[in-house]
Structure 1
Amino acid sequence: MRPFRTRRTATAAAATVLATGLLVTGCGSGGGSADAAGGKVTLTVDLFGTFGFKEAGLYEEYTQLHPNVTIKQTDTQDEGQYWQTLQTKLAGGGGLADIQGLEVGRVASVVRNQADKFTDLGSLGIGGVNDGLVPWKGAAVKTADGKVLGAGTDIGPEAICFRTDLFKAAGLPTDRAELAAKWSTWQGYLELGRSYVGKAQPGNAWTDSAAGMFTAEVGQQKVRYADEGGKAVHDSNPAVKNAWQDSVTLVTDGLSAKLPQWTPEWNKAFTTGKFATLSCPAWMIGYIKGQAGQAASGTWDVAPGPGRTGNWGGSYLTVPKTAKHPKEAAQLIAWLTAKEQQAKLFTKQGSFPSSTGAQAEIKSVTDPYFNNAPIGEIFSESAANMPAQVLGTEDGVIGKAFTDALGEVERTGTAPATAWQHALDNIKKAAGN
């Protein structure tokens, strides 16, 4: 991506905060409340996947503006593992960071069942932190009595990332517009995959896993696992069943590399050429760069995906009730999620902004790593068509149950009907039924 590392003065940073309605005590002088008291503060940040704050230089910039603040980040690549650990810490009341990340599939559960575990950002002076975002982003973390439990970061408009070198070797086109036309539907994507594996080197699959395709296809639906009244519909929704069947076809036609996502072998495959395409929400851009490294620059590209829409992922930043430095944490959250920082994150890492102001600024962004792909244009189109998804309290649990079951089909040869039933049984167990 084009460099976007401009250093702003503390005065400019304060103006930004004022302009977005996020005035926080001490920002105008270049320091937080602890700075005013002359104290040193170490803020702990616990995240999953690749949010990109560190990689984009935002922590470095913030600590230059706030020299009495040190930021220490911990990461868990697998969001499922992160969520389990977070639940353990919330139950025990200890070990939580000043700032905890939260995936969109978990927010309904937190808002309805664990609101008392997180600090209302309004009580910390940043109640309007989500005012400049797409409306549904802020609404998802607002309780019935008006508490704001998180600050929105990115959203996950979808595309397809692909390996140009592997496509050329298999005699497939690499023109983005031509590919977008060929895989304008998921059936087209499967058909082109069958053509690819018929010409590719043995051991080189069309895509990484059925889980990736399933999650992307389901992510194109407004109603997925729960309807607008909160009723569970995961077992009857035709859209979920269609995504399941398409993903099973991917496996039975030999198009999957059968790699569990977020595992070491999956990460390694970004450099070995074991798969040629990847269902690719915007945040995956930064993940690919981190795993494939600079040596792979120019071998990857991006094209609009089936349906030219979808939403996979997106996150929030929260302050647990047990945070040691809640006010300073709120100041950092407000700054990280402001329009300017969201635009930088996309330009540097591919994390697509939920800020409407930032969205307006990044439409012309291209990415040299991905053959100068017009990622601003591609992901902006996907975001414009994106449904405002209905979020259920068990979305994260249900999605994982289905992708785990598809892993059974891929890696143990379980019959699809049996695996489907396993998913439904595991969902019932998780709900205590």
Structure 2
Amino acid sequence: MPICRTVRTSAARARSTGRTLGAVVLAGALLAACGSGSSDSSDEAGGKVTLTVDLFGAFGYKEAGLYAEYEKLNPGVKIKQSDTEDEADYWKSLQTRLAGGGGLADVQGVEVGRIASVTQQQSDKFEDLKRYGADKLEKEFAEAKWSAATTEDGKILGLGTDVGPEAMCYRTDLFKKAGLPTDRAELAQKWATWDGYLDLGEQYMEKAPAKSAWIDSVGSLYSIMIGQEKERYYDASGELIYENNPAVKSAWDTSVEAAESGLSAKLDQWSPQWNQAFAAGSFATIPCPAWMLGYVKGQAGDAGQGKWDIAKLPGGAGNWGGSYLSVPRAAEHKGEAYELIKWLTAPEQQAKLFEKQGNFPSSTGAIEQVADAKDPYFSGAPIGQIFGEAAKAAPVQVLGVHDANVAQQITNALSEVERKGTAPGKAWSNAKKGVENTIG
């Protein structure tokens, strides 16, 4: 979705349960690291501080046991998390609270499609983490991940969680029933281009099992394709360019072709119907950034183990999704909040999160640790290698202030094409009107 989503927009991730990857081999011990930090206040009985964490979807910290581990290492801290499944709803609520200055958590999640808005328009609403020594962590993160959360005057407004290197997840049992090959290397060759992917989809639909489509939605197809581009909605100068960007047009046209060819299950991502479709076999392929793996497991359940596999993405590498953890200026426990996000985003914890949830690290040290990871749920797919290579080859994307808003309007318009039969030209006009109404 996802991921990325997303991721929803990217990018927004959704609720996932995840399962331990028993075959993951981590190079090096998973060491616990925590700092003393300065305490702003201790308002609970006995001096215990309750840190509030507000996220969209599930970042996987609770599911991976990281909160419990941190509380054990820091007996004076209790962590209370709240989350909103849809990132767009989360962001709208966060804007209201930032404007009013109340109701903010100690830690707030920020999706990658929103980070430019934070650095360019809301830097006065979030703590400069350099105050707590965050500048010493720069070498631990991928350059693109670090720079995106840094303002022009050097303020550090968030620490990176995961990134969303892209691949293609597919149902080997459904492929077999349709007479298609299931070997991940062979498939990567057959769908080396998006045209090849659509051609294979047409072959699938000729012999597809009843009530099964090739892809979940054309919105997910568009999102994964646009994640392969350096410039999407804005150029490096900050100018809005989506209307005349050939990359956007190509992703739009391919998505429309998939809709008009009847390849889509016409499911809105993150909807209850979409969730149920994972177990029902309603689609044979789904573009999957790394964070999507935990979501697939959670929805497909134990019965899906061994039926899924992962292959390289058509058209080259890309990125869909990824997030940041930030501390609002109005947070009650700023120092303790920083120590928590520093620990959660450290290499050891990012590696552990990938092991248990599939969220691919933005920490360079963690990326090295998970290079040999395999996932038995996905037929033993070498996820460390597949997503690691994709992460290295993905372009450094130009992020604009309203990236997520533009993406949402375009995917909404594509949903009109596939679900209502709206003419593509009319749907594109609706997307442009939606962008104008949303961002002015």
Q: What TM-score comes out, normalization by structure 1 length?
A: 0.92
Q: Determine the structure 1 residue equivalent to 2:412.
A: 404
Q: Determine the structure 2 residue equivalent to 1:430.
A: 438
Any idea what the Cα deviations from partners look like across 1:287-343, whole Å, max 9, x if unmatched? 111222222211111111113310000100011112121111111100000011111
Residue identity over aligned pairs, in percent, reads: 57
Task: Decide whether the 8 Å contact of 1:25 with 1:33 is kept in 2.
Answer: no
- 2:32 corresponds, among 2, 6, 13, to 13
Q: How far is 1:412 from its partner? A: 1.3
Relative distance call for 1:336 and 1:270 in structure 2 (3 A) is: same
Q: Determine the structure 1 residue equivalent to 2:68.
A: 60
- 1:2 corresponds, among 10, 22, 35, to 22
How far apart, CA to CA, are the structure 2 residues paired with 1:336 and 1:258? 37
Task: Decide whether the 8 Å contact of 1:160 with 1:305 is kept in 2.
Answer: yes
Task: Decide whether the 8 Å contact of 1:130 with 1:152 is kept in 2.
Answer: no
Relative distance call for 1:45 and 1:143 in structure 2 (3 A) is: same
1:413 maps to amino acid = G
1:89-168, aligned counterparts within 5 Å? 89-168=97-176
How far apart, CA to CA, are the structure 2 residues paired with 1:93 and 1:122? 22
Q: Determine the structure 1 residue equivalent to 2:263.
A: 255
Any idea what the Cα deviations from partners look like across 1:78-108, whole Å, max 9, x if unmatched? 2112111211221222222111111111011
How far apart, CA to CA, are the structure 1 residues paired with 2:316 and 2:152? 34
- 1:244 corresponds, among 249, 252, 274, to 252
Give aligned pairs, total: 418
What's the secondary structure of 1:256's corresponding residue? coil
How far apart, CA to CA, are the structure 1 residues paired with 2:284 and 2:345? 33
Residues 1:79 and 2:87 are matched in the alignment = yes
Q: Determine the structure 1 residue equivalent to 2:18.
A: none
Task: Decide whether the 8 Å contact of 1:284 with 1:350 is kept in 2.
Answer: yes
1:249 maps to amino acid = E
Task: Decide whether the 8 Å contact of 2:179 with 2:207 is kept in 1.
Answer: yes
How far apart, CA to CA, are the structure 1 residues paired with 2:201 and 2:246? 24
2:132 maps to amino acid = L
Relative distance call for 1:53 and 1:283 in structure 2 (3 A) is: same
How far apart, CA to CA, are the structure 2 residues paired with 1:9 and 1:171? 44
Q: Determine the structure 2 residue equivalent to 1:371.
A: 379
How far apart, CA to CA, are the structure 1 residues paired with 2:133 and 2:396? 28
Residues 1:234 and 2:242 are matched in the alignment = yes
- 2:179 corresponds, among 145, 167, 171, to 171
Q: How far is 1:163 from its partner? A: 0.9
2:55 maps to amino acid = L
Residues 1:284 and 2:292 are matched in the alignment = yes
Q: Which runs of 5+ in 1 are unaligned?
A: 18-22
Q: Determine the structure 1 residue equivalent to 2:57.
A: 49
Relative distance call for 1:110 and 1:3 in structure 2 (3 A) is: same
How far apart, CA to CA, are the structure 1 residues paired with 2:314 and 2:150? 32
Task: Decide whether the 8 Å contact of 1:342 with 1:358 is kept in 2.
Answer: yes
Superposed CA RMSD in Å reads 2.2
How far apart, CA to CA, are the structure 2 residues paired with 1:216 and 1:426? 21
Q: Which runs of 5+ in 2 are unaligned?
A: 1-20
Asked which structure has the greater RCO (Cα within 8 Å, sep 6+), the reply is 2
Residues 1:384 and 2:392 are matched in the alignment = yes
Q: Determine the structure 1 residue equivalent to 2:37.
A: 25
What's the secondary structure of 2:63's corresponding residue? coil
Higher mean C-alpha displacement, 85-94 vs 336-345: 85-94
Task: Decide whether the 8 Å contact of 2:164 with 2:289 is kept in 1.
Answer: yes
What's the secondary structure of 1:262's corresponding residue? coil
Relative distance call for 1:9 and 1:371 in structure 2 (3 A) is: closer
Any idea what the Cα deviations from partners look like across 1:257-295, whole Å, max 9, x if unmatched? 111111111111111111111010010011111222222
Q: Determine the structure 2 residue equivalent to 1:20.
A: none
Relative distance call for 1:32 and 1:200 in structure 2 (3 A) is: farther
